[in-house]
Copies of this chain bind each other. A is one copy, B any other.
Amino acid sequence: MERNARAAKDGHPPPPYLLFLGDVPLQPMAKTAAGLLQWRPELCVGKLTLPGCAVEMDIPEMTPKEAVGAGAKTLVIAVVNPGGTLPDAWIPALVEALEAGLNIASGAHVSLSVFPDLKDTAARLDRTLYDVRLPKMTFDVGDGVKRAGKRILTVGTDCVVGKKYTALALEKALRERGVDADFRATGQTGILIARRGVAIDAVTSDFISGAAEWLSPANAPDHWDVIEGQGSLYHPSFAGVTLGLIHGSQPDALIVCHEPIRRQLLSLPYPIPPLKEFMKTNLDAARLTNPNAIIAGMSLNTSKMSAQSAEEAVVAMEQETGLPCCDPIRHGAGKIADHLISVLA
């Protein structure tokens, strides 16, 4: 029970949250805010924007003081920080939030405590600065020992194809069907949603699979972990993280996440791999630590497609693979949950 004891001690930012959107000019930069509102609206009381912010988010604008009045405990920096750090222009608003009574949580690479104004104010007022992305503990080297309980892992043909949303939709669909299922977060947005997890790409590389083993500890035989995938085995920047996560997760089933109209990786001029080859490579990797691993569903990100094209893509994918297929936002993941229950439960 060592593993559970350590997990319980992890200090995660207390909700509800005030979503800080800063002055970011583009909607996609507010990925964390969008994810929180989509999956945990009950954790969010309002948003705080600065002049220049061009992000639309369907939640009331609040000052820090108003947010505290509405029960908020933590301001979450819910946008990607340009350059991976905090712009100077944001600091006064963040200091004001601390003064109003809020803690601050950030998923940036850089620690909040490197900003003297934040560090000093938090220390003086006894607020906490939460660096969600930075490991709060050390992990063991992975041991590859099979753990009780069932595990589903989402894998993607690229970054930003819907691995997190698919896992969250699947947690929801499994719970609706009476399955004891838990979403397991491996990135900063997921951690803020789940209020637990590990930013797997921030772990020292010797311990990737060990951190993944820690993330989904041994559990009851009828408990299901739905683990958020990261990167892609075909991504030259991040495939090592992906492989360690696959091995440590020991998935009973993989769900393949894919954007049908994407032809090359978002961040590099590398092609999206052929789907059949991609599926075999991921399955072979998973079978090292779980010889019974299967692929149990296809998840399509059709956000840039018309409703009709999306439905056609789903049908085509089901015909091509013989597996249930859905877009987790358009359709939920009920079809995949039903299939998982029929083959694994």
Contacts and interface: CB of A to CB of B under 8 A. Distances in A.
A37 to B, nearest CB: 26
A240 B205 contact: yes
A73 to B, nearest CB: 29
DSSP majority for the A interface? Answer: helix
A137 interface: no
Contact of A240 (B144, B236, B237, B240): B240
Contact of A241 (B200, B206, B242, B245): B206
A165 to B, nearest CB: 21
A251 interface: no
B202 A204 contact: yes
A206 to B, nearest CB: 4
Instruction: Report the interface size class on chain A.
Output: 35 or more
Interface string A326-340: 000000000000000
Given A234-B288, A281-B284, A241 B142 contact: no
B205 A268 contact: no
A345 interface: no
Interface string A203-241: 111101110000000000000000000000110111111
A143 interface: yes
A240 B289 contact: no
Contact of A243 (B143, B201, B243, B284): B243
A247 interface: yes
Given A247-B236, A270-B144, A281-B284, A203 B202 contact: no
A233 to B, nearest CB: 8
The 10 closest A-B pairs by CB, nearest first: A240-B244, A144-B236, A201-B206, A205-B205, A240-B240, A208-B240, A142-B237, A240-B243, A243-B243, A141-B237
Interface of A: 141-144, 200-206, 208-210, 233-234, 236-245, 247-248, 268, 270, 281, 284-285, 288-289
